[in-house]
Amino acid sequence: MQKVDLRSHLDQRLPIGLGLLALAAWCIWQWDDPDEAGWLIFGLYIGFFGLLAVAERRFAVVDEHAGVLTNKRGLIFAVTLGSVALTEVKCVELTLRLAEDDGKKGRSTRYRLRVTGPKSGVLAHYQDEWHARRAAERLAAALRVPFDNRVYGRRSVRKSDELDLPLAERWRASGKIKERPVLPQGSQLEIDDQTTRIRVRFAAETGSRWLIGAVVAFYAVAAALSYPHVDEPGEYLLFYGVALFAVLFFGFVLLAFSGRSRLTFTDRSVAFRQGLAPRERSIELQAIEEMIPGWDAIYLVGDAKMLAIDWPTSDQDRDFLKAFVACEIARRHTRGGEQ
């Protein structure tokens, strides 16, 4: 029998809960007048959430002897919410759910963890992608079924015994050979591979610039209409402070949708800079466990980090870039192993 903890924020709940319990104890200690129960009520209210953070139990029980997967949750003592036969569990699935998908208002995002098969069942929802991913991997390993990651639009399925393997290691173990593709004629990609550091440059995605321009125009008109009503020194300081922040913010955003994006491979990592943005995001090659060609980007995903590489504009460049990224990940992993 195995217990798989499904709680989120495992590293943060205990100190937060203890802090709330300490605050609740202090509030109750302040209550000394039976006619004034405010401190007592507030202390009990805070104490409930502190107890919830410390003592909440939420886990799945994999009972191979009985052949049942049980979902349990409770406060101190857990109760059974549902169960499914292990023979009916074919995989563990993680999907991205928006509030509108569930008929709710707002734009909140949740990650849904469930088991699928002849009889599917939702086990938990998470606000944080990485907590959800780690819980899904723990459950898939305990059940010894594949993990189906659907967070990035397209499916990425991994076997339960390969969940901690780097992507290139899985390719090598399965005998998959990633050949370096030939740059197609008329390609808009620029490749600089004179050294071990390889850089690929291509035009940044510009489709969102009109929307950014419309937002900038809206705020500019609002600022122009507001300025005649500014007459106090403090109001001038606030007005120019907000204006400076807006100029810097929208300037950095526009840089990301201007110029040429840059993809960089080294022997240890891969990095991507969107357009002329001053900041470059990267991920270690050994940390990459999934490569998912999504609808809007190539996603390189690890246990605690993700790197999104924008697509080029043409279909032939997209096909080339997808094959090129796979080739470099595999090739540099082999080179690192030889060193």
Task: Return mean pLDDT, the chain.
Answer: 85
SS3 303: coil
pLDDT digits (tens, 9 = 90+) for 179-227: 889 999 999 999 998 778 999 999 988 777 778 888 888 888 888 888 8
Taking the C-alpha atoms of residue 49 and residue 263, their distance in angstroms, rounded to an integer, is 46
CA–CA distance from 96 to each of 127, 130, 156 (Å)?
Answer: 10, 12, 13
To 5 degrees, how large is the angle CA 94–CA 326–CA 165? Answer: 50
User: Which amino acid is located at 16 in the chain?
Assistant: I
Q: Is the pLDDT of residue 336 over 70?
A: no
Instruction: Say if residue 103's pLDDT is above 60.
Output: no
pLDDT per residue as tens digits for the range 270-299: 999 999 998 899 999 999 999 999 888 999
What is the pLDDT at residue 328?
92
Q: What is the pLDDT of residue 338?
A: 44
| Residue among 181, 208, 91, 201 at smallest CA distance from 143 | 91
Q: Residue 191 corresponds to which tokens in the numbers above?
A: 């490749």
Residues 6+ apart with CB under 8 A from 240: none
* Banded pLDDT at 64 (limits 50, 70, 90): confident
Tens digits of residue pLDDT in 313-335 = 899 999 999 999 999 999 887 65
- State the pLDDT confidence band at 339, using cuts at 50, 70 and 90: very low
What's the pLDDT band for 12 if we cut at 50, 70, 90?
low
Among 318, 291, 8, smallest CA distance to 136 is for: 8
Residues 202 and 189 sit within 8 Å (Cβ to Cβ): yes
State pLDDT tens for residues 76-101: 677 777 888 888 889 999 999 875 55
CATH topology of domain 190-206+258-338: PH-domain like (2.30.29)
Q: What pairing do the DSSP bridges indicate for beta strands 147-150 and 91-98?
A: parallel
* Percent above pLDDT 70 for the chain: 92
* Mean pLDDT along residues 127-149: 90
User: Token digits for 222?
Assistant: 């609002």
Q: Where are the domains of the chain?
A: 2-164, 190-206+258-338, 209-248
Amino acid letter, residue 77 = F
Q: Which residues contact 53 (CB under 8 A, 6 or more apart)?
A: 13, 14, 16, 17, 20
pLDDT in the model for residue 337: 45
Q: Is the dihedral of CA 277, 278, 281, 282 positive or negative?
A: positive
Of these ranges, 58-62, 69-73, 318-322, the one predicted with the greatest mean pLDDT is 318-322
- In terms of average pLDDT, the best of 108-112, 154-158, 206-210, 229-233 is 154-158
Predicted model pTM = 0.77
Check residue 30 and give its pLDDT.
Answer: 79
Residue 259 has pLDDT above 50, yes or no: yes
Cα distances (angstroms) measured from residue 49 to each of 5, 18, 29, 127: 20, 10, 18, 18
